[in-house]
């Protein structure tokens, strides 16, 4: 049996805080090369923004099953750790270090599973691949997005992609993510005419108009959710006037609004809806909208079913299929193929003393191996 523990320790000992790589990807590439993977280095960006990424594929046929992960980590942070965050110390069967669960542990578990799979599999006709980026925790510009464009151009888009983010909540296997909500931020600025509060007929109060707009955005029910998503939600996050006196009608009033939306909406449609609501009340208001991600969903198919069965067979946990939480690179991958996210328990991610138990790490590797076995049966 291949052992994910020593590989994880080796990865943690490379302090690959975005945008640094610190040798982490070389460790992986050496392991994959030994197995016969064909590796393409895909660095993007110039100077300080330069990011290392690579794509590795074994086999040329179908099904093509891809594992996506990031080798970069967030900084150790200002609070002090009990041990050096990049020493990968093992204490009472727990491995400590930055990236242990997010997500060098997931990567080590999958590499180890692939080593076991290929050591016993003859006449393999499918494809296994790795999409590895060093830009997930950073701006996400020179990472997965560009690697996917390259994969598309070179005929490497897989049939299914598993992202090894730490999706488990309390126990290994309790949550698989099969989609995420979209997110949109709007800044709405209403212009009025400044004046004295005692002479309102000589002024035009922008706050009153802004209140009407915000009511028209927050009162309607956008949807009631569906089987996989909770209802979309409009939240006003700030209303700013900056008025420090009591006798002035201000010239402008600004509000910020966030919408977390499910797959019944698109960012573009919501943008149009917001503009219509605003212009109905204030013809000349300024609207600035940024869509940071569209909603996506992978309807559970044979891969997600295989994942559920693999989890249950290893630790008797029945996973919940979930679409909550923040964003990950899965939002980019979903534009090319079916994608799901599954990995370790995320409770210590980004925290001081980030850690993973050897027990969980080995179980995850066995779950991944069972999934690979099932998909290439």
Residues contributing to the site for Zn ion (CB under 5 A): 102-103, 165
Q: Which of 21, 116, 135, 136 is catalytic?
A: 136
- 214-248: b or e for each residue (b if 16 or more CB lie within 10 Å)? beebeeeebbeeeebbeebebebeeeebeeeeeee
Q: Which of 10, 21, 72, 294 is catalytic?
A: 72
Q: To the nearest whole angstrom, how small is the minimum distance from the Cβ of residue 70 to Zn ion?
A: 6
Q: List the one residue out of 259, 252, 249 whose CA is nearest residue 189.
A: 252
Whether 102 has a binding-site annotation, put simply, is: yes
- 120-131: b or e for each residue (b if 16 or more CB lie within 10 Å)? eeeeeebbbbbb
C-beta closer to Zn ion: residue 100 or 306: 100
Whether 137 has a binding-site annotation, put simply, is: yes
Q: List the one residue out of 168, 164, 114, 131 whose CA is nearest residue 375.
A: 114
Distance CA 104, CA 97 (A): 10
Whether 165 has a binding-site annotation, put simply, is: yes
C-beta closer to Zn ion: residue 256 or 350: 350
C-beta closer to Zn ion: residue 254 or 323: 323
Q: To the nearest whole angstrom, how small is the minimum distance from the Cβ of residue 281 to Zn ion?
A: 42
Active site residue 136: yes
Q: To the nearest whole angstrom, how small is the minimum distance from the Cβ of residue 348 to Zn ion?
A: 12
C-beta closer to Zn ion: residue 133 or 370: 133
Q: To the nearest whole angstrom, how small is the minimum distance from the Cβ of residue 72 to Zn ion?
A: 9
The angle formed by the CA atoms of residues 220, 224 and 230, to the nearest 5 degrees, is 115
Residue nearest to Zn ion (CB): 102
User: Which distant-in-sequence residues (6+ apart) come within 8 Å of 356 by Cβ?
Assistant: 8, 94, 95, 100, 101, 105, 344, 345, 348
Query: Token pair of 327, please?
Result: 């964003």
Active site residue 354: no
Annotated binding-site residue numbers for Zn(2+): 70, 102, 137, 165, 350
- Residues marked active site are found at 72, 136
Annotated binding-site residue numbers: 70, 102, 137, 165, 350
């Amino acid at each position: 049996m291949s052992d994910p523990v020593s590989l994880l320790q080796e990865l943690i000992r490379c302090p690959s805080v975005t945008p640094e790589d610190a040798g982490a990807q070389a460790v992986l590439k050496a392991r994959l090369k030994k197995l016969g993977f064909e590796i393409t280095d895909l660095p993007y960006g110039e100077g300080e923004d330069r990011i290392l990424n690579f794509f590795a594929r074994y086999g040329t046929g179908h099904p093509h099953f891809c594992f996506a992960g990031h080798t970069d980590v967030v900084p150790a942070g200002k609070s002090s750790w009990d041990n050096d965050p990049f020493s990968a110390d093992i204490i009472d069967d727990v491995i400590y270090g930055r990236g242990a669960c997010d997500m060098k542990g997931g990567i080590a578990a999958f590499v180890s599973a692939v080593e076991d799979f290929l050591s016993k599999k003859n006449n393999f006709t499918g494809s296994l691949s790795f999409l590895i980026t060093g830009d997930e925790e950073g701006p996400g510009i020179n990472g997965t997005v560009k690697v996917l464009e390259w994969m598309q151009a070179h005929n490497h888009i897989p049939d299914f992609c598993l992202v090894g983010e730490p999706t488990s909540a309390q126990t290994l296997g309790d949550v698989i993510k099969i989609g995420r909500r979209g997110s949109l931020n709007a800044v709405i600025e209403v212009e009025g005419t400044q004046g004295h509060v005692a002479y309102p007929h000589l002024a035009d109060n922008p706050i009153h108009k802004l209140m009407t707009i915000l009511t028209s955005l927050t009162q309607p029910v956008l949807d009631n959710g569906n089987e996989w998503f909770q209802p979309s939600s409009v939240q006003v996050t700030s209303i700013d006037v900056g008025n420090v006196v009591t006798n002035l009608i201000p010239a402008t009033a600004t509000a910020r609004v966030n919408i977390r939306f499910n797959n019944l909406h698109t960012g573009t449609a919501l943008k149009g809806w917001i503009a219509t609501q605003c212009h109905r009340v204030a013809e000349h208001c300024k609207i600035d909208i940024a869509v940071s991600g569209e909603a996506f969903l992978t309807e559970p198919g044979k891969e997600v079913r295989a994942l559920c069965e693999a989890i249950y067979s290893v630790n008797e946990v029945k996973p919940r299929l979930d679409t909550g939480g923040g964003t990950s690179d899965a939002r980019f991958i979903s534009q090319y193929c079916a994608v799901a996210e599954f990995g370790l328990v995320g409770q210590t991610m980004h925290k001081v003393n980030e850690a993973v138990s050897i027990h969980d790490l080995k179980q995850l590797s066995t779950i991944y191996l069972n999934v690979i076995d099932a998909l290439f049966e």
